[in-house]
Amino acid sequence: MINLFPTRCNLCSGAVEYISNAKIYGREYGSGKCYLCTKCGAYVGTHKPRPKEALGVLADEPMRALKISCHELFDARWQGKPNAAGKRSALYRWLANKLGIDVSNCHFGHFDLPTLQRAHTILQEASSNE
């Protein structure tokens, strides 16, 4: 289970501040808030309707790049297909099974770097087998 209200960084154990995300992006987006590690600079956004609740774990640049790549591979498998919502749910169940985790925990924003790497490999292999 991830910490929805982090005070310590999951990557370096540095202190985490709850701040305006304009400090990251130059202007506010979404909820307008994020959690930022004062030591390593990792950050995570927050839910718009619940702006104190983190969207996942704090992520550094390599993790953010891998999340984007995972989403691109994942989304290509369901977007634009008939019954897309059902295909998306089934794809999350399939990926959770491959990762050996509960589907309720199958969210790229919740994954640490090793899990992101495993998910990326699984999705790449599935894409190349199509």
19 φ, ψ to 5°?
A: -135, 175
The pTM assigned to this predicted structure is 0.88
CA atoms within 13 A on the CB side of 7: 0
In angstroms, the CA 67 to CA 59 distance is 9
Beta bridge partners of 19: 34
Of 72, 16, 84, which is closest to residue 44 (Cα–Cα)?
A: 16
pLDDT given for residue 10 in this prediction: 97
Mean pLDDT, residues 93-120:
96
The model's confidence at residue 22, banded by pLDDT at 50, 70 and 90, is very high
